[in-house]
Amino acid sequence: MKIVVIAPNVSENLSGEAIKAFQYITHMLANGDDVTLLTHARSRGHLDRFPDMLAVRFVEDGFWQKFFWRSRVLRSLVDVPFFLAVRKIIEGVYAEAPETVFHFLGPVSPIIPRFPVRESKSVLGPITGNIYYPPALRSREPFQLSVRRVLHSIAQRGVGMALNDKAGFDRILISGGERTRQSMKWAGASDAQMRDVFDSGVSDKIMTLSKISHTGVNHRFAATGRLVPHKGVDLAIRAVAKTKTPVTLDIFGSGPEETHLQALIDELGVGERVKLRGWLPSHDDLISELRNYRGYVFPSMAEANGIVIQEGLAMGLPVICLNWGGPTLLTTDATAIRIDPGSDDEIVAALADQMDRLAEDPEFAAQLSDNGFEAARKNFSWGAVSEQWRRAFTDL
């Protein structure tokens, strides 16, 4: 089977979507698949690993891509000219090799229009999205996100009526559960087109690591990611102040909330226990550092997927997360500590209780570690994930 993968961004060290595309392509090549990549020219410098192994066609910037990128109001449309240019390339490939499968891998947004050639074998996704704050936390939801939540169904129906592009795909891979299925239905897709899958795999480099050992008492916890409101890092900081044991929290990352979070740390008097450590030099350094901790705290309130949760499980690092959005789809009560998304105070109290328990109970930590480690190897290796994707469109 000849497969053309379409992804605007492909890189080993940029955004999560770019890394996902890079790892998927790497796996396909290692598997001996006949694959061609269609990507934006900005990915050119990130594909040096594949000089002779991968057929790549680049889409150069045109007037409209530059125009949308420079516009604050219209920047979200920057991928539309890319997909229009891709369509012209697909038409040529399809004319020469009509059995080719065209896999539109990224981005994960359910709204962005793509333009498949209707006669070709076309696959979209995995698609996630239509993720917003839990009802009990809507008072924290930024105004812009609230507007998007209210207008989401209207926008999807509008795109569906105007372009009907989603109906042009033979298969749509869904990684966001029912919320994403509903979004795609608003856009004109049918249940018959959709298949539920995991959004991403975990790199082979992490999958080959030994499981973290949890013995004795360990009060060290970690959080990672861009410091933005929806990540809920302030909830984790407040929880440390409520713990009954000397729990500590190291926060790896940076972002616009950094000043606010440091002020909160100072206000609560937990400066000796909570540290903002910024980004480490590389992802490998972060993975190595995380092996020293008892647990990973991830109270994100609007997470579409959660690759960091998958990586934590794959290392045997117990995860504490909200039972909402992507984390709900990636975990079970046996593989992670899942906290119901109630009020701020309810979440903070639950986080504090669970960090205390995890820190002081090595048997509990070891059981979670074992369960997560086993589940990750069953579900999250790139071999397992790519096979799941492939099963969804082998009958095209």
The token pair that represents 62 in the structure block? 């045109």
How sure is the predictor about 17, in pLDDT bands with cuts at 50, 70 and 90? confident
The reply to whether 171 and 319 lie within a common domain is no
The model's pTM is: 0.90
CATH code, domain carrying 335: 3.40.50.2000
Q: Report the range of poorest mean pLDDT among 14-18, 33-37, 145-149, 196-200.
A: 14-18
- pLDDT value at 49 more than 80: no
Check: CB of residue 355 under 8 Å from CB of residue 321. no
The reply to whether 295 and 343 lie within a common domain is yes
The rounded distance, in Å, linking the Cα atoms of 111 and 166 is: 9
- What is the average pLDDT score of the chain? 93
Question: pLDDT of 338-373, one tens digit each?
Answer: 999 999 999 999 999 999 999 999 999 999 999 999
Which residues, at least 6 apart from 36, have a Cβ–Cβ distance to it below 8 Å?
2, 3, 4, 5, 54, 55, 56, 57, 93
The reply to whether 138 and 69 lie within a common domain is yes
The reply to whether 54 and 130 lie within a common domain is yes
The reply to whether 154 and 239 lie within a common domain is no
Check: CB of residue 120 under 8 Å from CB of residue 100. yes
The token pair that represents 119 in the structure block? 């006669």
The reply to whether 280 and 140 lie within a common domain is no
Q: Which amino acid belongs to residue 4?
A: V
Residue 252's domain comprises 204-378
- pLDDT value at 19 more than 70: yes
Which residues, at least 6 apart from 189, have a Cβ–Cβ distance to it below 8 Å?
166, 167, 169, 172
What is the tally of structural domains in the chain?
2
The reply to whether 151 and 286 lie within a common domain is no
The reply to whether 138 and 89 lie within a common domain is yes
CATH code, domain carrying 54: 3.40.50
The reply to whether 178 and 316 lie within a common domain is no
Which residues, at least 6 apart from 116, have a Cβ–Cβ distance to it below 8 Å?
87, 90, 102, 104, 122, 124, 165, 168, 169
Greater pLDDT, 224 or 64: 224
Greater pLDDT, 1 or 196: 196
Supply the pLDDT for residue 158. Answer: 93
The reply to whether 185 and 262 lie within a common domain is no
Question: pLDDT of 234-290, one tens digit each?
Answer: 999 999 999 999 999 999 999 999 999 999 999 999 999 999 999 999 889 999 999
The reply to whether 104 and 167 lie within a common domain is yes
Question: pLDDT of 60-87, one tens digit each?
Answer: 988 888 888 888 878 878 899 999 999 9
Question: pLDDT of 105-115, one tens digit each?
Answer: 989 899 999 99
Question: pLDDT of 158-210, one tens digit each?
Answer: 999 999 999 999 999 999 999 999 999 999 999 999 999 999 999 999 999 99
The reply to whether 19 and 137 lie within a common domain is yes
